[in-house]
Structure 1
Amino acid sequence: MPHWSVYTGNSEPHDGIDDLPAPPPWRAFDGEPVLPAPRDTDDRAAVSPDRAHRARTYVASPETVQLVNAALVLRRPLLVTGPPGTGKSSLAYAVARELRLGPVLRWNITSRSTLSDGLYQYDPLSRLYAARRAGDARPGGEAPGTGGPEGVQPASADVEEHLRLGPLGTALLPYGRPRVLLVDEIDKSDLDLPNDLLNVLEEGQYEIPELMRAAREFTEAGTAEVLADGTDEPVAVTRGRVRCRAFPFVVLTSNGEREFPPAFLRRCVRLRLRRPDREQLTEIVRAHLDTPAGDAEHLINRFLNRAADGELATDQLLNALYLTGVAGLDADSRDALADELMPYLSATADGDGF
């Protein structure tokens, strides 16, 4: 393995991230104060059992290992494209587990997603209701910040109580080790999001206007305690500005439903996952299931033959192997059930798709 590689793809957790080469001068960041690394993803409270299983059993190709390390060293997002079921999102969990980078921060993209959704969520209505309740409890019913008794803290000073960082905003906190951020199905976004996201990832920082206004108007230190994504433990944000220290390992997945702007593409390390061949399928099955070799080989052949005529996903093969293994069927019944569990994903392949 090259000396600059820290991810091996063998799924055994280790602290190789501490040996990651220094970033290029144009990708060095200096956010403060440095935050400790979160808990490992091996903790079942930090990751669901299905994700933990996928992380442990992920089978990475040599190309995948090389490009993951390239993204880590260059401090660049990894754009992972490929057909459904090729392990695009599972890759993020596998890297997080092996390198002990804590729980994966996941941002599922829809056509309505905006950059602010990923950075933070602010609820001004809940803050307004809280201010009204506080006003009702005061002598004379005066709301805070409206000329009440001297020494009463204005309503704007409690803005952090109604604000929570999103997955992208949390990933850019100044952690001592990189966090793993999965931006899933970015090709489903509107036209502006890739470029908006690119600007934040290029700078490694962002601002929270609501906290900046509160810091200028009402506090001296300007430090707010804000909840981060996936935890109930607050983190300190000074004067509404967040800047990373260890650039996060960002995995952007795409099913190829759209083209991305050239400026976006040139700032990403690009990995295209292809359908696994027979050898890779055998290794994937071995990693996931304790299936007798003969049964696995038969259904792998059947899967590959069907895949020659239409689009299938590896998950379908695993489902067929598991269910036929526990059902105790004869050969003909097993094959018929396997075909039912492996329908083509494209409607053009067999006329009805599902």
Structure 2
Amino acid sequence: MTESSEWLIYRGAGEPHDGIERLPDPPPWRDFSSRDAAGSGDGSEDRRLGAHRHLAELHRPGAEELEMINAALYLRRPLLVTGSPGAGKSTLAHSVAYELGLGTVLRWSIVSRSTLQDGLYHYDAIARLQDVQIAAQGGYGASAGSPGAVEGIGSYIRLGPLGTALLPSDTPRVLLIDELDKSDIDLPNDLLNVLEEGEFAIPELERIADRLPDGEAEVLTADGVKVRVRDGRVRCRAFPFVVLTSNGERDFPAPLMRRCIHLELGRPDHNRLATFVRAHLGDEAARAGDDLITRFLERSRSELLAADQLLNAIYLTDAAAPPSRDRLADLLIQRLDRPR
């Protein structure tokens, strides 16, 4: 990148041009091209842990962090991770899954409308009704009331991330329940029983279990894989490694806290940020962006900033000359707690 405007793809000139052909490859953490055609891989390891993670031990945890993670593994308890945005809370789940070979991380991103049902499963009753009506009129599929209509109910059920994590398996799945503090007041309490018992029921299947072959129905998982559920209940064998993250915007009820191992992530220091940059962009970028790391740390003492802002700034200002480099970095690293 140069000090001039040569790097601009969109010029705002109002004239069509072929500039999009000059758009370079995306940053490693925004590269989705590694998803394979079958959907069995989503490229999340490179995006979360860094395409250059072999050059740096990303998230080399301190003693307390290691102890809390291992305590959650040993005790089969959820790990509640709190800390400021960009502290590495979400990445922790990917790091554990990668190191222990536990497969793709299941992610449930929480919003204010999220309910326990969203995490467990979704039953598309409307689609099933429509198909039964079409069949009754001589269309495709089994006719209404036929055994096929009962046996095919699993086609309208898809397990959510939490439901998929609780499927019986020999090794635990890793489940990331991201930003739990954004949920409504009921969700943390609603999670208690499922996280304590490691099982849940699907009433739509329970009611007809005696009419299903061997009491089993085939349903779709959050991974897009078909599995068989027996007697309308999902029971884990290996309790999943559950990471609940929170930005500290609210307090959680004592019963939930009692069932979790709590890990508080502090602000990253210079070495950890440099390691973070090195894992995603390589050694040279980490050295070139050392001054931006220092400025980021100084500002973070009084401003709310996120580490991915720093990563964006170092990537986009690579080889740019001051003062345009400093100006662009400041535009990309804006305080998150500024007045609106």
Q: Shorter-chain TM-score: what band?
A: 0.7 to 0.9
Shift in Å, 1:226: 1.1
Supply the distance in 2 between the matched residues of 1:54 and 1:78 (Cα, whole angstroms): 19
Question: Is 1:144 equivalent to 2:144 in the alignment?
Answer: yes
Cα offset, 1:220, TM superposition: 5.5
Q: Say whether residues 1:222 and 2:223 are aligned partners.
A: no
Which secondary structure state, in structure 1, belongs to the residue aligned with residue 169 of structure 2?
coil
Hey, what does 1:319 align to over in structure 2? 312
Of all paired residues, the percent bearing the same amino acid is 54
Change (3 A) 1:219 1:281: closer
Q: Corresponding residue for 1:345?
A: 336
8 Å contact from structure 2 (residues 112, 183) kept in 1: yes
Distance 2:316 2:285 in 1: 13
SS at match of 2:311: helix
How far did 1:239 drift? 0.8
Q: Tell me the equivalent position of 1:67.
A: 68
Residue number in structure 2 paired with 1:298: 291
- CA positional deviation for 1:189: 1.0
How big is the shift at 1:265? 0.3
- The question of whether the paired residues in 1 share the 8 Å contact of 2:285 and 2:314 is answered with no
Contact 2:49 2:279 in 1 (8 A): no
Structure 1 moving runs of 4+ over 6 Å: none
Give how far 1:279 is off.
2.0
1:124: which partner in 2?
Answer: 125
CA distance in 2 between partners of 1:161 and 1:264 (Å): 34
* 2:253 is aligned with 1:252: no
Equivalent residues of 1:55, 1:91 under 8 A apart: no
What 5-or-longer segments of structure 2 have no aligned partner? 1-33
CA RMSD after TM alignment: 2.1
Give how far 1:307 is off. 1.8
1:176 matched to 2:170: yes
Paired residues of 1:224 and 1:237 also in contact (CA < 8 A): yes
Larger RCO of the pair (alpha carbons < 8 Å, separation 6+):
2
Q: How does 1:71-90 map to 2 (within 5 A)?
A: 71-90=72-91
Partner of 1:211: 205
Larger mean Cα displacement after TM superposition, 190-199 or 283-292: 283-292
Aligned mates of 1:268, 1:259 — CA distance in 2 = 14
Secondary structure, counterpart of 2:150 in structure 1: helix
Contact kept? 1:51, 1:90, Cα under 8 Å: no
Alpha-carbon distance, 1:158 to partner: 2.3
**CA displacement at 1:113 relative to structure 2:** 1.0
Distance 1:294 1:43, change over 3 A: closer
Shift of 1:286: 2.1
- What are the within-5 Å matches in structure 2 for residues 82-101 of structure 1? 82-101=83-102
From 155, 163, 176, the equivalent of 1:161 is 155
Question: Equivalent residue of 2:334, what SS?
Answer: coil
TM superposition shift of 1:304:
1.7
The answer to whether the aligner puts 1:268 opposite 2:269 as a matched pair is no
2: CA distance, partners of 1:165 / 1:203 = 18
- Give the superposition deviation at 1:314: 1.0
Residue from 263, 270, 282 that aligns with 1:278: 270
User: How many residues get paired?
Assistant: 295
Contact 2:274 2:286 in 1 (8 A): no
Aligned partner letter, 2:185: L
